[in-house]
Amino acid sequence: MTNYDSKLRKQLYKSGFELLHNPVLNKGTAFTERERDEFGLRGLLPPHVHSQKEQIIRVLKNFRAKTSPLSKYIYLMGLKDRNETLFYRAVEDNIEEMMPIIYTPTIGEVCVEYGNIFRGPQGLFITAKDKGHIEDVLRNWPYENIRAIVVTDGERILGLGDLGANGMGIPVGKLSLYTVCAGINPTACLPITIDVGTNNEALLNSVLYVGTKRKRIKGKVYDELLEEFFVSIKKVFPDALIQLEDFATHNAFALLNRYRNDYCVFDDDIQGTASVALAGIYSALKITKEKLRDQKFLFMGMGEAGLGIGRLLVSAMLEEGLTEAQSRRRCFYFDSKGLVVNNRQDINALKREFAQDHQPETNFLSAVQSIKPTALIGVCGQPKVFTEPIIKEMSRLNKRPVIFAFSNPSSKAECTAQEAYTWSQCQAIFAGGSPFGPVKINGKTLVPGQGNNAYIFPGIGLGVLSCGAKIVLDEMFLAAAKTLSKEVTPKDLGAGRIYPPLTKIRIISAKIAQAVAEIAYKRGIAAKSKPINILHKIKSNMYEPNYKKFV
């Protein structure tokens, strides 16, 4: 055993029976004859020793026998609770089949049903009652070497709204992808839900709701709780990266702005979504043969994702020679009350940033007709708002209209891939936030892209941790978008795919990590010394879900 394994063994089990119930070290029927003798496993396991490959056959047979995405998820989480190494091996080797189960779109249903399917602890819950003792709660986690934390307060889960403590499914899913996509050791990952109540009446009235049954706290009490959380994290897990996830817009921006210069923190909904969207736009421009500076974007929705994408687009257009004001004039937003224009009195400071001098519009089709955008970006959480007349108008205005329906889960998508391709006569360059299957029209097969944040945030995290970056910079997300787009091949583009296959995700994450680390070294914010070959160093340290020989 390695020294690290020895420490885990001493910390987490004393007998063979306990070993078989420890998901980090358990190998199930793959324990060798010598290991069975050494650890007192004789009689506790069936006599035949299986290889990990043989175990995967059993996993796939059981997984594929399940008849619904939710049942598949429950099965995989049960496997993770029994044998973590086997779980990650199965997902990594079958990523295109299993990622939609452990992440979007199934994770939305998981959060809705979380109280009904709860089996056991997957992360830490911190409540308002823990104020003054958050450090103690953090120390209850069994692993000390925490490097990656994903935290939510459950107020804006995907496009589903306030799910309170049920939002734990999001940090659990995201951190699984840190391991699958970027090779970060699962014992270094910690999911956290800050339970400050919920305003969801259905949950408050449910006997199976797992969270605190009270209305959400806000204002000074909320701010003080989050302040204690950040301070405690830095004390207990000083080397950890903190990823904010699915906070309501006002809290998301406030927390990011408040802590980004003093903590290693980023917001995936603001910055990760922006990066994956920009990567898709870069790829689309390879098809249209146009420049970013000449595009005009119309957003449906103006929350974290929409504003984050707009801000990163501005940064990218600055690189192409536009001024900041000129760049902002290329980004139009349509919210629940219409086009965001300067003479509206009901827009807040965040929205004012992108308010335009334009005539008011309360009809989205009319906005398309007057603005004449080259791309539609849907981030509103409202299904079917990209209607047939809108897609047809976009096709009239553009030879190859860019249509991004990014709202999650699939039930919230602004339109489907089938609709975008059919209504545009196969001319749309489409990407969804959730996966859509290949579409066959008139003998042609088109493969829609998925603007999946998993292309971005694991690589960002890997890069930050590999160099010990003290803070996370916006330019890292711009570099990540460029890196991701470079991985899209002419063959991908020919099939309509503007993102690379998920089967390439680990090498993509490593390359993004390299780009992130290079920025950190250049800006002088890296705590670790710079290796001769950054990419080689990153790849050599990535966790592989293979069994270790203990004796």
Per-residue confidence (pLDDT) for residue 119, from 0 to 100? 87
- Rounded to whole angstroms, the Cα distance separating 412 from 117 reads 23
In 217-269, the DSSP E strands lie at: 241-244, 265-267
Please say which residue of 403, 424, 452 terminates a domain. Answer: 452
Tokens for 336, please give them. Answer: 């629940």
Q: Exactly one of 72, 174, 511, 539 is catalytic; name it.
A: 174
Q: Is 392 a catalytic residue?
A: no
Name the residue type at position 330.
R
Among 115, 112, 62, CA closest to 90 = 62
| Environment class of 134 (CB within 10 Å of its CB; exposed 0-12, middle 13-18, buried 19+) | buried
User: How far is Cα 94 from Cα 117, in angstroms, rounded to an integer?
Assistant: 24
Give the DSSP letter string of 272-311.
Answer: IHHHHHHHHHHHHHHHHT--GGG--EEEE--SHHHHHHHH
Residues 6+ apart with CB under 8 A from 54: none
Q: How confident is the model at residue 7 (pLDDT cuts 50, 70, 90)?
A: low
340's torsion region: left (phi>0), alpha (psi -120 to 50) or beta?
Answer: beta
What is the CB neighbour count within 10 angstroms for residue 88? 22
SS (H, E, C) 180-196: HHHCCCHHHEEEEEEEC
Residue 12 pLDDT > 50, yes or no?
no
The amino acid present at 237, given as its one-letter code, is F
Confirm whether 178 is a catalytic residue: no
Domain match, 145 and 25 both: no
Of 6-20, 431-445, 460-474, highest mean pLDDT:
460-474
In a domain, 75, yes or no: yes
Question: How much is the pLDDT for 408?
Answer: 87
State the chain's mean pLDDT as an integer: 95
Q: Is residue 468 in some structural domain?
A: no
Q: Check residue 9 and give its pLDDT.
A: 53
Q: Has residue 195 got a pLDDT over 70?
A: yes
- Same structural domain for residues 299 and 401? yes
- What CATH code is carried by the domain that includes residue 306? 3.40.50.720
Residue 537 lies in a domain: no
Asked if residue 258 and residue 290 are part of one domain, the reply reads: no
Last residue of one domain, picked from the residues 65, 84, 102: 102
- Give the domain range for residue 67: 3-102
pLDDT band at 3 (very low <50, low <70, confident <90, very high): very low
**Using CA atoms, how far apart are residues 520 and 527, in angstroms rounded to an integer?**
9
Ranked by mean pLDDT, which of 6-15, 57-66, 435-444 comes out on top? Answer: 57-66
3-state secondary structure 357-425: CCCCCCCHHHHHHHHCCCEEEECCCCCCCCCHHHHHHHHHHCCCCEEEECCCCHHHCCCCHHHHHHHCC
Tokens for 478, please give them: 């711009």
Q: Could you tell me if 88 and 114 lie in one domain? A: no
In the block, residue with structure tokens 């906005």: 367
Q: Final residue of a domain: which of 61, 82, 102?
A: 102
What's the whole-model pTM score? 0.94
Please tell me the distance from the alpha carbon of residue 203 to that of residue 208, in angstroms, as a whole number.
8
Do both 290 and 418 map to the same domain? yes
Residue 463 domain-assigned?
no
| Token pair listed for 20 | 């078989």
Q: Are residues 257 and 338 in the same domain?
A: no
With beta carbons less than 8 A apart as the criterion, state whether 28 and 86 touch. Answer: yes
Which of 39-43, 46-50, 163-167, 487-491 is the least confident region? 39-43
Establish if 194 belongs to a structural domain: yes
| Within-domain flag for 259 | yes
* Residues facing 192 on adjacent strands: 124, 151
Strand partners, 193: 125, 152
- In total, the chain counts a number of residues equal to 551
Q: What is the CATH number of the domain that holds 149?
A: 3.40.50.10380
Mind listing the pLDDT tens digit for each residue in 226-267? Answer: 999 999 999 999 999 999 999 999 999 999 999 999 999 999
Residue closest to 152 by CA, chosen among 142, 161, 139: 161
Residues 92 and 203 in one domain: no
Catalytic residue among 13, 88, 103, 455: 103
d(CA 488, CA 463): 21
Q: Residue 382 — left, alpha, or beta (φ > 0 → left; ψ -120 to 50 → alpha)?
A: beta
pLDDT at 412: 92
Q: Is the pLDDT assigned to residue 8 strictly greater than 60?
A: no
Shared domain check, 31 and 148: no
- Is residue 292 within 8 A of residue 302, CB to CB? The reply is no
Judge whether 485 lies within some domain.
Answer: no
Give the number of other CB atoms < 10 A from CB of residue 229: 24
Please report, rounded to a whole number, the percentage of residues in the chain having pLDDT higher than 90: 90
Tell me the percentage of the chain whose pLDDT exceeds 70: 97
pLDDT band at 479 (very low <50, low <70, confident <90, very high): very high
C-beta of residue 57 within 8 angstroms of C-beta of residue 85 = no
pLDDT of residue 2: 47
Say how many domains are in the chain: 3
Are 419 and 326 part of one and the same domain? yes
Residue 345 lies inside a defined structural domain of this protein:
yes
Do both 96 and 190 map to the same domain?
no
Q: Are residues 315 and 447 in the same domain?
A: yes
| Same-domain pairing of 279 and 413 | yes
Is residue 148's pLDDT more than 90?
Answer: yes
CATH number for position 49: 1.20.1370.30
pLDDT at 11: 47
Per residue in 72-100, pLDDT (tens digit) is 999 999 999 999 999 999 999 999 999 99
